[in-house]
Amino acid sequence: MGEEKNVSIAILGAGGVGRCFLQQCSKILPQYMNVSVVLIARSDRSLRVPTWNHVLSLETWEKDLAASTDPALSPQEIYDWFRTTENEIILVDNTSNQDIAAFYPKFLQDKVTVVTPNKKAFSSDLGLWQSIVNNSYPHNPDGGFLYHEASVGAGLPIISTLKDLLETGDEVQKIEGVFSGTMSFLFNNFAPVEGKGGKWSDEVTKAKDAGYTEPDPRDDLNGVDVARKLVILARMVGLQVESTSAFPVQSLIPKELESCSSGEEFMEKLPAFDDEMEKVKTEAADRGKVVRFVGSIDVARKAVEVGVKEFDKGHAIAGLKGSDNIISFYTKRYGSNPLIVQGAGAGGEVTAMGVSADMIKAIKDVHGWMIVR
């Protein structure tokens, strides 16, 4: 099996998804030889080993991090510290920090493996995307591995499925689906296949109270989160999409409410605009259809779109339940019967599962499959 390698894992982000990920790590990492966590950091402080021979406890990390007086580390400081060891390093970035994302090419070039759900790294500047890809293995034979399954669809195998299709020579013609757990929950309740559904503002309130939306629901209703995911997938199939502003993205925020000073003010004023969404629903129902908020990529037309679309009631997208995501891959091999991936596409636990699964792949890649028997 060759010489055993020491693998050091550095974790950025310890709240929300990060906390769920660390809880999963406490059960996963004991299975692997010579693998240890050496850094846990959040925006205001950090906890790291005094020497590379030490190990951070995954049983007491939360208490230890809270007690730490060490400041947060900049990407450059993290990079410089990594260069003081010959250990294999896996950087797990559970943040949405653009500055850290901008440093990925430098980490990868220095053979640091990057695991992340950070959408901004792959959907912002096209030049950054190209630099990240070109500095990672196998594009750079000496670069670090790159995993970002959870950047689209949380724990659902969207990225890996698309990679498999492309790497095995299939021709992806179209990708379409519901990419937001929030939008799925809203429209499945607002315009159900059976029954009338509630008022739009009431459904937004229910989604907010259930924790499906951001504290300010406008961050979901503007469509940008879905657009970021579409940018990632479009770039993977070879479309040179500059940014989320390069294609139509329908916002469900009434123009009159775009300038609201807070999420609370927005929610107070939203009922006055219920008739607009009710009209959209009723017109679709008159045609025997339901409305859903979807994203689509037409590869041949080089067209990317995000917005409300009508579907027959028997369509797979129309029949979604709860907050499920569904993504259909139309390819040359699969013909008119698309390959469909469906399931929970939001939530800390399932997103952390996607990150954890990527970490396991990374460990096996850099560590040579040395699992404790």
Q: Which helix (H) or strand (E) holds 38?
A: strand 35-41
| 3-state class (DSSP) for residue 113 | strand
What is the distance between the alpha carbons of residues 338 and 88, in angstroms, rounded to a whole number? 40
* 138: preceding bond cis by omega (within 30 degrees): yes
User: Going along 299-346, which residue ranges are E strands?
Assistant: 303-312, 324-331, 339-344
What is the distance between the alpha carbons of residues 296 and 178, in angstroms, rounded to a whole number? 9
pTM exceeds 0.85 for this model? yes
| 3-state class (DSSP) for residue 35 | strand
What is the distance between the alpha carbons of residues 316 and 102, in angstroms, rounded to a whole number? 38
Task: Tell me how crowded residue 195 is: count the other CB atoms within 10 A of its CB.
Answer: 8
DSSP string, 134-159: HHSTTTSTTSPPEE-GGGTTTTSSHH
Structure tokens at 95: 């943040």
Q: pLDDT digit of tens for each residue in the chain (373 aa)? A: 456 689 999 999 999 899 999 999 999 999 998 999 999 999 999 999 999 999 999 999 999 999 999 999 999 999 999 999 999 999 999 999 999 999 999 999 999 999 999 999 999 999 999 999 999 999 999 999 999 999 998 889 999 999 999 999 999 999 999 999 999 999 999 999 998 899 999 999 999 998 888 889 999 999 999 999 999 999 999 999 999 999 999 999 999 999 999 999 999 999 999 999 999 999 999 999 999 999 999 999 999 999 999 999 999 999 999 889 999 999 999 998 999 999 987 788 999 999 999 999 999 998 764 444 3
Question: Looking at residue 358, what DSSP letter applies?
Answer: H
What is the distance between the alpha carbons of residues 199 and 205, in angstroms, rounded to a whole number? 10
| 3-state class (DSSP) for residue 344 | strand
Residue 372, pLDDT score: 43
Annotated active-site residue 361? The verdict is no
46-48 β-sheet, strand order: 46-48, 35-41, 7-12, 88-93, 113-115, 146-147
Residue 367, pLDDT score: 72
Where would I find the H helices in 243-347? 263-269, 274-286
Task: Tell me how crowded residue 65 is: count the other CB atoms within 10 A of its CB.
Answer: 18
Residue 228, pLDDT score: 96
Bridge partners, 326 (sequence order): 178, 342
Question: Looking at residue 72, what DSSP letter applies?
Answer: P
How many residues does the structure list for the chain? Answer: 373
Closest CA to 243 of 172, 304, 175, 174: 304
Catalytic one among 208, 229, 281, 289?
A: 229
Taking a C-beta distance cutoff of 8 angstroms, is the pair 350, 155 a contact? yes
One-letter amino acid for residue 129 of the chain = W
Taking a C-beta distance cutoff of 8 angstroms, is the pair 90, 115 a contact? yes
What is the distance between the alpha carbons of residues 78 and 66, in angstroms, rounded to a whole number? 20
Residue 211, pLDDT score: 81
